[in-house]
Amino acid sequence: MHREVRVSEQNTNSGAEQNVSGLSERKNSGLAGKIALVTGASQGIGRACALELARSGATVALAARSLAKLEAVAAEIVAAGGQARAFSLDVSTEESIKACAKIVLAELGKVEILVNNAGVTRDGLTLRMKLADFDDVLRTNLTGAFLLTQAVISSMMKGRWGRVINITSVVGETGAAGQANYAASKAGLIGLTKSLAREFASRGITVNAIAPGFIQTAMTNDLPEAHKAGILAQIPLARYGNEHDIAAAAAFLASDAAGYITGHTLDVNGGMYMG
């Protein structure tokens, strides 16, 4: 079932497309005037989260390595009546993180909602896994989220309001053969979420995680039917998730309706894991 780990990387629009036409019809979720920063926003879950936050009224800073893809997402949001800006970011390097945070804060004034979504995989059996592959995944998925949160959370503290939403994975809760590095990074993200929630609660900042299960993407569509049937059999709701399922959860956690929720991992997996 290791294919679900790519949920933050896939360039598919299922679910997310449902939101585009409705961006101009902003929901009254309390996000109007809020500034959100979404990493890995050029595609997949990150793109879907950006569209949903824009639809909810937030101005969205889109961050990823591909500016061309980000600009296409930004144009999509703006054309539908929202506000978005594209910023180059490589979460695997401290220099890029600091530079991106600096320019976002300089141009937009603050960051009130942070969605740490960007991530990578380097799958392999433990006995064959290279240290570089282990380190790369931890540095990108866990250290990157820590450093970016560290770089922008002061602006939340000043406003005494903020939302940090970390996209983890069901694999971080269950483990997965061949993904020791990825599972460790995502489990670490859950621990980071709880620690940050305790540190910043007194400043009006909530910190939560979302753990997607098997999310349908272009890549998962190419899996053998027998493999997909085996995965589906593990999901009580008997369907795969889509990017909109995750984006809707992110928009909820960013809203005032979730103001009394912090340190929580929200499982969006169709019942695949019930912890």
Strands 113-116, 35-39: pairing kind: parallel
In terms of Cα–Cα distance, which of 156, 74, 166, 60 is closest to 112? 156
Active-site residue identified among 182, 240, 260, 273: 182
- Burial profile 61-77: b = 16 or more Cβ within 10 angstroms, e = fewer: bbbbeebebbeebbebb
Is 240 marked active-site?
A: no
- The two three-digit tokens of residue 130, written as one number: 């290279």
Q: What is the dihedral of CA 86, 88, 93, 95, to 10 degrees?
A: -100
Tell me if 205 sits within 8 A of 163, measured CB to CB. Answer: yes
The residues annotated as belonging to the active site are: 182
